[in-house]
């Protein structure tokens, strides 16, 4: 879109469009989205107490009146209840909050947002200081966990390859390609097509690989079972980055640049981070939000730095050398999935008593 707007109007037109979209987004968030913050802890607690009272009455009914001994069937009842709880426990021994007894999902009702939820000013959370401090500090505490740091590094390495080729699209305006601004804009469809291919295959493939390996492991699921699904996408990434860099540096045909370089880049950008973050979330599901914060901060910070050095570096060392730096930042973290496959479980054991496993 920006290429066409720059060619038909001027380059400032797209920036004004971005300003308008940003203003629309802000107004939409402020006035058209109800407040959804709601504490369910007291509801879950009440439901749990009610269930315990009900189970107590059932045991009393199965015990002969006036005696303190249980009937022969009581052990079976208790055992089945224990198994019911065990079915919903995670690897750290905590009951799953969505499927376990007293789950949060079981107390969700139906209805519409109340008028209070639409008000611009909401009642202040009495624990807002602790909540604000926790939200600010919590992601930094998790930053140095090897698994979470790896997921963030893998995300930035893949995303920055796309940014790198985007920043250097202006090279297509030079001979032998002589692309117009609108043609350079249309070149981005290669990223879109590749991105859709990665988006539609990465998740299902990692789920399928994890399922098959779980079956081979006697039905015991390990988070590391997702990692082998990275192999085909790492191969695609290697081909796309190397061929794309060589094609730009040696002035190959634009079809090679778009179909192989840009297309493969779209695939790796939407596939490798998907599997990496899914693995980290499998390891520490209750802190999925913090994991995404860490990955986003790393990705955006490194992308911001990339825009400063890449043009001067290309002028001094050439396109292909700069491309190989992007190759290292993408493939380097990705291949670190191999040691994680063997030692990731040991890392998770080190944090088994952490509150990271608690909802």
143 plus 97 within the same structural domain = no
**Residue 318, preceding peptide bond in cis (omega within 30° of 0):** no
Structure tokens at 348: 């998770």
What pLDDT is attached to residue 53?
64
Q: What is the pLDDT of residues 200-234, one digit of tens each?
A: 999 999 999 999 999 999 999 999 999 999 999 99
To which residue do tokens 């079976």 refer? 76
What's the pLDDT band for 174 if we cut at 50, 70, 90?
very high
115 plus 176 within the same structural domain = no
Q: Is residue 177 part of a domain?
A: yes
109 plus 148 within the same structural domain = no
What's the pLDDT band for 120 if we cut at 50, 70, 90?
confident
CA–CA separation, 189 vs 285, rounded Å? 34
Q: What is the pLDDT of residues 309-355, one digit of tens each?
A: 999 999 999 999 999 999 999 999 999 999 999 999 999 999 888 88
Q: Is residue 82 part of a domain?
A: yes
Give the structural domain span for 81.
41-123
To which residue do tokens 């987004």 refer? 25
234 plus 179 within the same structural domain = yes
Q: Is residue 55 part of a domain?
A: yes
Three-state secondary structure along 142-165?
HHCCHHHHHHHHHHHHHHHHHHHH
- Rounded to the nearest integer, the mean pLDDT of the chain is 84
Q: Sign (positive/negative) of CA torsion 324, 329, 334, 337?
A: positive
Q: What is the pLDDT of residues 19-78, one digit of tens each?
A: 999 999 999 998 999 988 776 666 656 666 666 666 665 555 555 544 444 444 444 434
Closest CA to 245 of 329, 161, 320, 322: 320
pLDDT at 84 over 60: no
CA–CA separation, 320 vs 351, rounded Å? 42
82 plus 205 within the same structural domain = no
Domain count, the chain: 2
Q: Which residues pair with 89 in a beta bridge?
A: 95
Q: Is residue 27 part of a domain?
A: no
What pLDDT is attached to residue 55?
63
327 plus 190 within the same structural domain = yes
305 plus 203 within the same structural domain = yes
| Average pLDDT of the residues in 97-120 | 64
What pLDDT is attached to residue 141?
85
| Better-scored residue on pLDDT, 99 or 157 | 157
Which of 123, 151, 167 is where one domain is finished?
123
Q: Is residue 128 part of a domain?
A: no
What pLDDT is attached to residue 267?
97
115 plus 160 within the same structural domain = no
109 plus 195 within the same structural domain = no
Q: What is the CATH number of the domain that holds 238?
A: 1.20.1250.20
Which of 65, 97, 123 is where one domain is finished?
123
What pLDDT is attached to residue 100?
43
Which of 123, 154, 171 is where one domain is finished?
123
186 plus 79 within the same structural domain = no
94 plus 165 within the same structural domain = no
Q: Is residue 35 part of a domain?
A: no
Q: Is residue 57 part of a domain?
A: yes
pLDDT at 94 over 80: no
CA–CA separation, 314 vs 321, rounded Å? 8
What pLDDT is attached to residue 263?
97
Q: Is residue 14 part of a domain?
A: no
Angle at 12 between CA 11 and CA 18, to 5 degrees: 110
118 plus 154 within the same structural domain = no
Cα 284 to Cα 41, 124, 155, 231, 344: the distances in Å are: 21, 30, 17, 23, 12
């Amino acid at each position: 879109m920006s290429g066409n707007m720059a060619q038909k109007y001027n380059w400032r037109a797209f920036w004004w469009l971005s300003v308008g979209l940003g203003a629309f987004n802000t107004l939409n968030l402020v006035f058209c989205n109800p407040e959804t913050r709601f504490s369910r802890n007291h509801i879950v607690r009440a439901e749990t107490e009610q269930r315990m009272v009900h189970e107590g009455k059932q045991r009393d009914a199965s015990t002969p009146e006036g005696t303190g001994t249980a009937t022969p069937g009581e052990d079976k009842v208790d055992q089945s209840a224990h198994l019911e709880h065990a079915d919903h426990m995670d690897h750290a021994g905590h009951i799953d909050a969505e499927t376990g007894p007293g789950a949060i999902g079981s107390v969700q009702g139906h209805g519409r947002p109340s008028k209070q939820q639409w008000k611009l000013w909401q009642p202040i959370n009495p624990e807002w200081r602790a909540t604000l401090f926790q939200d600010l500090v919590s992601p930094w505490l998790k930053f140095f966990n090897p698994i979470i740091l790896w997921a963030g590094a893998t995300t930035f390495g893949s995303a920055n390859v796309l940014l790198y080729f985007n920043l250097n699209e202006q090279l297509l305006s030079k001979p032998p390609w002589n692309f117009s601004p609108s043609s350079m804009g249309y070149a981005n469809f290669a990223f879109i097509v590749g991105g859709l291919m990665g988006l539609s295959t990465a998740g299902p493939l990692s789920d399928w690989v994890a399922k098959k390996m779980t079956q081979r492991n006697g039905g015991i699921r390990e988070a590391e079972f997702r990692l082998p699904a990275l192999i085909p996408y790492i191969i695609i990434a290697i081909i796309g980055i190397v061929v794309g860099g060589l094609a730009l540096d040696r002035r190959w045909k634009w079809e090679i640049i778009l179909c192989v370089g840009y297309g493969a880049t779209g695939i790796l950008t939407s596939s490798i981070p998907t599997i990496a973050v899914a693995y980290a979330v499998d390891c520490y599901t209750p802190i999925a939000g913090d994991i995404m914060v860490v990955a986003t901060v790393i990705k955006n910070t490194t992308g911001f730095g990339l825009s400063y050095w890449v043009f001067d570096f290309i002028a001094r060392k050439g396109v292909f050398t700069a491309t190989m730096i992007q190759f290292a930042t993408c493939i380097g973290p990705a291949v670190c999935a191999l040691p994680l496959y063997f030692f990731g479980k040991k890392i998770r054991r080190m944090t088994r008593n952490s509150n990271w496993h608690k909802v």
